[in-house]
Amino acid sequence: MRKMIVVDCTFLTGKYKGALLSAMCQDGNEQIYPLAFGIADGENDRSWEWFFCQLGSFIPDTADTVFISDRHASISRAIRKVYPSAKHGVCTYHLSKNLMTKFKCKRGTPLFKEAALAFTRSHFDRVFDQLRKIDEGVAKYLEEIDVRMWSRAYFEGCRYNIMTSNIAESWNSVLKGAKDYPIVPLFEHIRQTLTQWFFERRVKAASWSQTVTPAVTTHIDILVDKARKLQVNPISAVDYQVKGGHEEYVVNLTAKTCSCRAFDMIKMPCIHAIGAATWCKMSVHELVDPVYSTTTWRSAYADCINPINVPIEEWQVEIQVADQSCAFPSVRRPPGRPKKRRQPSFIEGVLNKARRPNQCRRCGQRGHNRATYKEYIR
C-alpha cells in the first residue's frame, strides 16, 4: 500500500474512560484499511510512544513512510523518537478549523486550502502572497507552524492525495456506538467489523477484471473524456508538450512525470499524461503505480480475520502482564446522563448556521425571526 499512515485518538465513554489510539491507511481502492489499535489511559507522551513502539514491530522506520495527524504535541514527539527517518504532516482540515477559531478569517480560509493543495511551489507562493495581503497574522501563524508540515508543494515526503485525517475520523464514527463498551467487547466489535469488511472486499476484488482498482478506473475514465480537448505535440519518443488553454506542460511517459507535478505526487496519470498517452496510443493503465493495481488490492485482503475460538473467560494473559498489580483508574464521572454525541467545533457550528436560515416562530417562514417579524411584514 501507499506508506501513508493516519494516526488519531478517540476517547472512550465507558466506566473507566481511557483512549483508543489507532493507525489507519488506505488500500488501492481508496478504502479505509485499519492497521493497529491500542488502549491507553489518555493522549499523552507515554501513550503515544508506547503505541508507535508497538507499530514499529511490523512497520519499519523508513524515509518514505509518512504520518498524518492533528497538531497534538505528544504525537510529534513520539514520531521523532520512534520514527526519526519518517516524515510527519498535519491535517489541513484541523488546521483550517484552527484558523476559523483563532482568527475568524473567512476570506483567508479558501486561500489556505488552495495553497495547501497546490502541487507546484510557484502556485503555492502566488496564493500565499494573496493570503498575506488579506491577513498578515494568518500568514505568520502558518509560517510558524512550518509550511512543510501542511503544504503539498513543500512537503518533503509524498502525501499522495491524503491531506487530512478524515479516514481516522470516519473510523471513529464506525465505533460511535461501541466506545462505551469494556475493552474486551470493544475489540471483539472491532474484530467483527473488520472480518466483515475483509470478506466483502475480498469477494469484490476477486470479481474485478480490470488491471487497476475500481476507484482509480473511475478517476481515469473522467479524465480521459477531458483529455481529448488537449493539444499534444511530441518532443521525443517519451517527452510530449501538452497544451490546454493558455497553459503548457511537459510530460515524460517513461519517468512518469509531468511539470504540473500531479503525476509525480499522486502516482496516477494526470490529465496531461493521459492526453499524451492517448495521442501515442499507449494504455493509460500502464502509467498507474503498482499500489493501485488489482493484484496489490487482492493481496491486501488475502488473509482472513478469524474469531478467537477460546471463550473470553479463558483468555490467557502473559505472565509479565498478569504479575503486575493494576490499580483502579482515577476517573470521576460527571453528574447527569452520559453524553453520546460529541461537542461540535466552532467551524461546524458556523457551517450549520449558514446552511439553516432563521425560521420565524410566528409565521413559520424562513429568513427572519420572531423579533423582526413586524419589520418583515412591512
d(CA 373, CA 368): 7
Query: Would you say the C-alpha torsion 213, 216, 218, 220 has a positive or negative sign?
Result: negative
Q: Which of 96, 101, 88, 98 is nearest to 48 (CA)?
A: 88
Q: What Rg value do the Cα atoms of the chain yield, rounded? A: 25
Would you state the pLDDT for residue 195? 94
CA triplet 324, 330, 335: central angle to 5 degrees? 150
Let me know: does 119 contact 84? Beta carbons within 8 Å: no
pTM for the structure as a whole:
0.84
Interstrand relation of 239-244 and 87-90 (parallel, antiparallel or unpaired): unpaired
For residues 293, 299, 302, 303, the Cα torsion angle rounded to the nearest 10 degrees is -140
Strand ranges in 63-200 using DSSP code E only, listed in sequence order: 66-69, 87-90
Would you state the pLDDT for residue 46? 94
Would you state the pLDDT for residue 373? 64
d(CA 137, CA 103): 8
- Per-residue pLDDT tens for 363-373? 877 777 777 76
- Per-residue pLDDT tens for 109-153? 899 999 999 999 999 999 999 999 998 999 999 999 999 999 999
DSSP annotation of 355 reads: H
Helices vs. strands in the chain: H and E counts, helices first:
16, 9
Beta-carbon neighbour count of residue 275 at 10 Å? 26
Neighbouring C-alpha atoms within 13 Å toward the C-beta of 90: 22
Would you state the pLDDT for residue 216? 95
Boundaries of every domain in the chain: 92-156, 214-287, 346-377
DSSP string, 284-309: GGGGS-GGGBHHHHHHHTSS--PPP-
> Quick one: cell of 345?
467545533
Let me know: does 277 contact 228? Beta carbons within 8 Å: no
Would you state the pLDDT for residue 42? 87
Beta-carbon neighbour count of residue 90 at 10 Å? 24
Would you state the pLDDT for residue 336? 78
**Which strands, in side-by-side order, build the sheet including 66-69?**
32-40, 19-26, 4-11, 66-69, 87-90
Q: Which residues pair with 19 in a beta bridge?
A: 11, 40
Longest pairwise C-alpha distance within the chain: 80
Low-confidence ranges of the chain (pLDDT < 70): 310, 312-313, 315, 329, 338-357, 373-378
Q: Which of 73, 141, 83, 85 is nearest to 108 (CA)?
A: 141
Let me know: does 198 contact 27? Beta carbons within 8 Å: no
Would you state the pLDDT for residue 128? 95
d(CA 136, CA 4): 32
